[in-house]
Amino acid sequence: MFDKAYVFLKKELLFLIRYPMQIIFEILLPVINMLPAIFLAIYLTSSNHIKSFEKVTGTNNYFVFISIGIVFSIFNSIQEQTSYVLSKEMWMGTLEQIWISPVKKINLVLGWIFFSFIKAILYTIASAIILKFIFIYLNISFSIYSLPLLVLSFLLLLAVSVCSGIIICSITLNIKQVDSFVFLITGAVPLLSGSTFPISVLPPKIQLISKVLPTTYIFDLIRHSILKSNTIFDPIMELTLVFFYVIIMMIISVFIFKLLKRRVEKCGTIYMM
């Protein structure tokens, strides 16, 4: 299974290497996207507003709080990158040839997801380097409160991202022009999940939506594992809740993929209109 997925992963990596300027752009883009949040964090850490923030979150280290959300939101965008890879195959007219190859179609999707994961790693490395220099300049230091919880939370984030990537790929196969849909999802989820702020600042009705999203609790657990910040519920309860989310998403993602795959194969619409 994974050796077949590796073939498609290698193909995408070779395509990326052929265009070195694209690699530079891919690395610089997350850094550029970080700047507004970084400037806001610098302002808040030098003002009295940080006291109100500490009452809500249990920590006064807002810069690290917001940096955690920025870095780990990158992995939450794996489904966005995966949908673009699939759309690229459609535009190039190669998806039909790939689709009739004698491999399981889920292996194709996993290969694209692994490629998106590697790009997320590149984003994270670039972001971490920039943040390291800023931490040194601002004399900001912190220590990880619970490494096991951090690792477990990160693995859960990856599981949610992979399941979401499969679902987005399935939808992309059907609606083709998926950019607007993906922008909506990848823009709304980090916002509603409180990636750079506590969800308690959101309107009460919006908070209800936030508490339905698994990423809300994952960001909550990651921050708690690093900063020992306040959590929405007890950390054990949040972990259990996210585990259930992952199991349900795995079942739903496979079901949706098989359902929509059969639909496009039956209608013969595996191409870009």
- What digits encode the pLDDT tens for the residues 208-243? 999 999 989 999 999 999 988 888 999 999 999 999
Place 3 in a pLDDT band, splitting at 50, 70 and 90: low
Q: Where are the domains of the chain?
A: 2-267
Coil, strand, or helix at residue 159? helix
Nearest in space to 113 (alpha carbons), one of 49, 154, 166, 41:
166
- What is the pTM for the complete model shown? 0.79
Coil, strand, or helix at residue 205? helix
* 3, amino acid identity: D
Place 245 in a pLDDT band, splitting at 50, 70 and 90: very high
Q: Is the pLDDT of residue 1 over 60?
A: no
Place 44 in a pLDDT band, splitting at 50, 70 and 90: low
| Higher per-residue pLDDT: 146 or 62 | 146
What sign does the dihedral 128-129-130-132 (CA atoms) show?
A: positive
pLDDT value, residue 2: 54
* 237, amino acid identity: M
Question: What's the CA gap between 59 and 56, in Å, rounded?
Answer: 8
Question: What's the CA gap between 195 and 127, in Å, rounded?
Answer: 15
Q: Which of 82-86, 128-132, 188-192 has the lowest mean pLDDT?
A: 82-86
Yes or no: say if 136 and 226 are a contact pair by the CB < 8 Å rule: no
Q: How would you classify residue 271: left for phi > 0, otherwise alpha for psi between -120 and 50, otherwise beta? A: beta
Residue carrying structure tokens 């004399």: 139
Average pLDDT, the chain: 77
Length of the chain, in residues: 273
* 142, amino acid identity: F
| Higher per-residue pLDDT: 206 or 180 | 206
